[in-house]
Amino acid sequence: MANFETKKLNKGLHGEIEIPADKSISHRSLIIGSLTKGKMKIENFSSAEDCASTLKILVELGAKIEQVGSTLFVDFTSCYQAPKSILDCGNSGTTMRLMSGILSAQNFTSTLCGDESLTKRPMKRVTVPLNEMGAHIETTEGHAPLKITGGKLNPIKYESKLASAQVKSCLMLASIAQNLPLEYTEPTLSRNHTERMLEYFGGKIETKELEDKVLIKFGKMELTAHDLYIAGDISSAAFFIIMALIVPNSEITIKNVGLNETRSGIIDVLLDMGANIEILDKKLISGEEVASLKIKYTENLKATTVSGNIIPRLIDEIPTLALLMTQAEGISVIKDAGDLRNKESDRLKTVHDELTKLGAKIEEKEDGLIIYGKTPLQGGATLNTYCDHRLAMTWFIAGLITENPINIDGFEWHKTSFPEFLDKFNSLLK
């Protein structure tokens, strides 16, 4: 993979961009859509490589999909048919974990595989409860490939130790695929796009805050296909929000940002740190909130502590947030984030190791990071991306403020979630 050299940006970012479609919602539009067995138009489908993996797999399982630009015309009436080959999830954990639920409910055997990074990620969190429901899944010591022999499943009451939308969605989809009820608890509410989309298709779900956990419960569900427009991805927007906050002289507007409250923790934390962010024109699109954000460079960001219930609400933004924390006055703490070690890379270790190369003062803890700011970053180093798209884009942003260029090894990985990243960036260099 080619190396990419960054360049310091003195004059700031200016103008307006529209953020591309949300990756989590794009996956779900096809995966949950398939359970309606109907026909639908999906507008603004993500161009991320991860979502292309989901699309390809559904076609192999019988969906008919015509793509015109970012619009999909989908016919799910022939889903599900036994696949002719192994189903490749690429780098996408969401594809593997959500599809494992649906495939466990089918009367055939299928195999899900993934790339080197996905093969290192833990899959027992889904295979154990699915096997408990009656599926038969073989793994290699808890890792992909997953050989799934589906069949008749039993309803499950499941208490998850993790606040994971992938685990929650997997069990929801396995249950719905066989019209079974579900009672599921998680320690704190993880992203609820699955619940919202099921409700958009006519399903009824109860979500209840209990003393120390959240209950998600439903009975039999009738779903009807509806056309969808996919909101913009706050996790992609976060790169530009943080860029504008730390690159002097910047002032930008980002349109169509999904602001679902289970995803918008990053905005709450940045406002708490004193960031100059205005939220404008809030509205609802296909059951999800969106808004425009106006962001201005903020010289005096203050350190903060991020822990507990907010962690699932900003889990994917932590690498970029850690970079911003190096530029905030005081000691910032990230804790209760141990599951970051199971993402596309071990994000506590990789963020610590690579930011340290730039001169950041940062300590790695078992479940988090301690970051001492404000520290000028030097550059002049090669940073690895470890097959991790969020690291690729974080290192790019770091390079906008380092005295010397950074060499990014594997910058192409940004295409996993955000192929338009460089075009959007270039459009703000007015």
- Residue 166 engages ligand S3P in binding (rule: CB under 6 A): yes
List the one residue from 165, 172, 334, 371 that touches ligand S3P (CB under 6 A): 165
- The torsion angles phi and psi of 36, rounded to 5 degrees, stand at -80, -20
29 binds ligand S3P (CB under 6 A): no
By C-beta, is 29 or 326 nearer to ligand S3P? 29
Q: Which range, of 6-14, 112-120, 163-171, 212-220, touches ligand S3P by CB under 6 A?
A: 163-171
* Cβ proximity to ligand S3P, 99 vs 252, nearer residue: 99
Ordered DSSP codes for 84-97: SS-EE-TT-HHHHH
**Footprint of ligand S3P on residues 82-121 (CB under 6 A)?**
94
**Which C-beta is closer to ligand S3P: that of 123 or that of 383?**
123
Q: Cβ distance 144 to 118 under 8 Å? A: yes
Binding residues for ligand S3P restricted to 197-226, rule: CB under 6 A: none
Cβ-based nearer residue to ligand S3P, 24 or 402: 24
DSSP-assigned letter for residue 98: H
Residue type, 322: A
Q: Does 188 bind ligand S3P (CB under 6 A)?
A: no
Helix H or strand E segment including 276: strand 276-285
Q: Are 362 and 374 in contact (CB under 8 A)?
A: no
Query: From residue 295, how far is each of 205, 270, 308 by CA, in Å?
Result: 36, 11, 27
Of 21 and 360, which CB lies nearer to ligand S3P in the complex structure? 21
User: At its nearest, how many Å lie between ligand S3P and the CB of residue 99?
Assistant: 12
The whole-angstrom separation of Cα 253 and Cα 235 is 16
- Binding to ligand S3P in span 305-344, by CB under 6 A: 315-316
| The one-letter amino acid at 288 | E
Quick one: which H or E segment has residue 282? Answer: strand 276-285
The catalytic residues are 316
Q: How far is the CB of 344 from ligand S3P (least distance, A)?
A: 8
CA nearest to 136, candidates 167, 159, 168, 103: 103
Interface positions with ligand S3P (CB under 6 A): 24, 94, 164-166, 169, 191, 315-316
